[in-house]
């Protein structure tokens, strides 16, 4: 079965159970009659040319490109929704999210954001990036895994995540970067699918308002250093970026293959 780029985006939204395309995802170069796609977490000109060489009709990137990169910070408000679910006061959560949004928006404002999209146009290669919907699917998979196991100690959470195929197949291991595996997990929060990790300020908001263990996909070293220097009381589990993103893209690839679209997965960890 052949699809078009709008249908590819729709598959991504259905994967998450969503109807509206978030600001960090976009159809950058439209295409139709697509029966074979290349899927990768990060896409540059090399991946576009590889897709052309392999006879693909489109490329699907995970991380934001073009206008989706410029607008990336707009999806961070979901952090406030998550914090509200865990009892963090609204004023505190909003302040923490605004600091994260300002940092990322300022950084991305300097990016040469249209180079890859421009290359796709020049090659005539349809290009889509699907970020938060794939991350939401990943969040649901990890949340089910954690809830299906014990959560008394931090080590229980680490063990449950580590049993997921993509984490088992990763060269990296699930790490406890703050606190320790032998600590009681207490009230825990899975903080993913809100654009990016919460950094220092969102971690602080959780840990100072009733949450004992937070679970990030990745963390910046400077943020981690500040958490340690400020002696934040709690645990930070860091799962691993590639393994987590692979869950979402494997889910997307599986849905596309079920629809009859051939997929070539580049740099994605296996789901078996």
What pTM was estimated for this model as a whole?
0.97
For residue 83, being part of any structural domain is answered with: no
> Quick one: 9 and 107 in the same domain?
yes
Across the strands, what pairs with 80? none
Looking at residue 110, which CATH number applies to its domain? 3.40.1390
> Quick one: 16 and 123 in the same domain?
yes
Q: Containing domain of residue 151, as a range?
A: 136-243
Across the strands, what pairs with 175? 238
Distance, in Å, from the CA atom of 194 to the CA atom of 90, rounded to the nearest integer, reads 17
Per-residue pLDDT, 102: 97
Residue 175, Cβ density class (10 Å: 0-12 exposed, 13-18 middle, ≥19 buried): middle
For residue 251, being part of any structural domain is answered with: yes
> Quick one: 120 and 253 in the same domain?
yes
For residue 86, being part of any structural domain is answered with: no
For residue 81, being part of any structural domain is answered with: no
For residue 80, being part of any structural domain is answered with: no
Residues 180/243, Cβ–Cβ less than 8 Å: no
> Quick one: 9 and 126 in the same domain?
yes
> Quick one: 21 and 123 in the same domain?
yes
Per-residue pLDDT, 1: 80
Q: How many domains does the chain have?
A: 2
> Quick one: 127 and 153 in the same domain?
no
> Quick one: 9 and 127 in the same domain?
yes
Q: How many CB atoms lie within 10 A of CB 21?
A: 18
> Quick one: 12 and 106 in the same domain?
yes
Per-residue pLDDT, 212: 98
For residue 262, being part of any structural domain is answered with: yes
Q: What is the full per-residue pLDDT of the chain (272 aa) written as tens digits?
A: 899 999 999 999 999 999 999 999 999 999 999 999 999 999 999 999 999 999 999 999 999 999 999 999 999 999 999 999 999 999 999 999 999 999 999 999 999 999 999 999 999 999 999 999 999 999 999 999 999 999 999 999 999 999 999 999 999 999 999 999 999 999 999 999 999 999 999 999 999 999 999 999 999 999 999 999 999 999 999 999 999 999 999 999 999 999 999 999 999 999 99
> Quick one: 126 and 13 in the same domain?
yes
Residues 263/39, Cβ–Cβ less than 8 Å: yes
> Quick one: 259 and 203 in the same domain?
no
> Quick one: 196 and 165 in the same domain?
yes
> Quick one: 200 and 95 in the same domain?
no
- Structure tokens of 209? 């308002």
For residue 272, being part of any structural domain is answered with: no
For residue 236, being part of any structural domain is answered with: yes
Distance, in Å, from the CA atom of 106 to the CA atom of 111, rounded to the nearest integer, reads 10
């Amino acid at each position: 079965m052949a699809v078009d780029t709008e249908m590819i985006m729709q598959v991504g939204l259905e994967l998450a159970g969503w109807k509206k395309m978030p600001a960090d995802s976009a159809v950058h170069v439209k295409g139709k009659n697509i029966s074979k796609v290349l899927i990768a977490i990060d896409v540059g000109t090399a991946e576009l040319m590889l897709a052309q060489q392999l006879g693909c009709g489109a490329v699907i990137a995970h991380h934001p490109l073009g206008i989706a990169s410029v607008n990336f910070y707009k999806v961070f408000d979901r952090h406030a929704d998550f914090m509200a679910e865990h009892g963090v006061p609204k004023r505190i959560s909003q302040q923490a999210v605004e600091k994260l949004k300002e940092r990322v928006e300022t950084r991305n404002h300097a990016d040469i954001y249209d180079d890859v999209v421009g290359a796709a146009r020049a090659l005539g290669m349809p290009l889509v990036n699907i970020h938060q919907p794939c991350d939401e699917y990943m969040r649901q998979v990890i949340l089910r895994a954690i809830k299906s196991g014990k959560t008394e100690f931090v080590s229980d959470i680490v063990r449950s995540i580590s049993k997921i195929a993509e984490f088992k197949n990763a060269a990296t291991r699930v790490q406890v970067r703050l606190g320790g595996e032998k600590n009681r997990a207490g009230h825990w929060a899975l903080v993913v699918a809100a654009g990016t990790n919460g950094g220092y300020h969102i971690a602080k908001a959780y840990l100072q308002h009733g949450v004992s263990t937070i679970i990030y996909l990745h963390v910046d070293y400077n943020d981690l250093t500040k958490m340690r220097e400020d002696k934040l009381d709690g645990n930070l589990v860091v799962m691993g970026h590639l393994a987590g993103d692979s869950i979402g893209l494997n889910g997307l690839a599986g849905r596309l293959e079920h629809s009859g679209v051939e997929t070539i997965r580049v740099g994605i960890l296996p789901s078996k």
